[in-house]
Structure 1
Amino acid sequence: MDELAPDYDDLVRSAREDKSLSQSDLANELNEKSSLIRKIERGDTLPSDRVQTKLERFLEIDLSAEGSSGDDSEWSGGSSSGSYTLGDVVKRKD
């Protein structure tokens, strides 16, 4: 799936609260553990692709980072293969 929005935890919490559901209620609706919902809303864990899809469908939200202006916009290093070397990451102090 697409990369998650940086504020995915707030999006899930707000959408759940908009539907007047507790974390346990949402977990029951998605057939997941309430501890997973709690961890997602705290930002302690990322939802799997399967859970992300369930959340998006049930809560009618989009958790993908599409269109967001992430901090990666300044990044210019690396290769098209996605592999980076230490020289791509480290800034020298000369």
Structure 2
Amino acid sequence: MFDDMDEIATDYDSRIRQARESRGMSQEELAKSLNEKASLIRKLERGDIMPPDSVRKKLERKLDISLVEGASDDDSEWSGGGSTKTTLGDVVKRKD
């Protein structure tokens, strides 16, 4: 059930703050652009609360960052194998 949950990075607060500041945005401007309250941005940047998934995704898109532990910058989904052609027969073991 929890296998596909993303683990929020321990330094999510500084990632948000640094990305916002590097874009020259105030907390209020960022909040307005995300349609969220400035108090939420303040709490996130202080590390008082963890970002809910909906807010995390908006922050990642707007600031072009990843707030997930161990995620790459492009944060691309697994594509299912890429260039190797693995079939079901390659991975299933028969019990005869």
Fold agreement, TM-score > 0.5: yes
For the 8 Å contact 1:2–1:66, the answer to whether it is kept is no
In structure 2, what residue type is equivalent to 1:20?
G
Paired residue for 1:74? none
Instruction: Specify which of 23, 30, 37 is matched with residue 26 of structure 1.
Output: 30
**Residue in structure 1 matched with residue 17 of structure 2 by the alignment:** 13
* Identical positions, percent: 57
Unmatched 5+ stretches in structure 1: 68-94
Structure 2 CA distance, aligned partners of 1:46 and 1:20?
A: 23
Q: Cα deviations across residues 14-71 of structure 1 (Å, max 9, x unaligned)?
A: 000000000000000000000000000000001100000000000000010026xxxx
Determine if the alignment matches structure 1 residue 42 to structure 2 residue 38: no
Q: TM-score normalised to the size of structure 1?
A: 0.69
Moved segments of 4+, more than 2 Å: none
Q: What code does the residue aligned with 2:47 have?
A: G
Q: Which has the larger radius of gyration?
A: 2
1:4 maps to a residue whose letter is I
TM-score by length of 2: 0.68
Q: Where does the alignment leave 5 or more consecutive residues of structure 2 unmatched?
A: 72-96
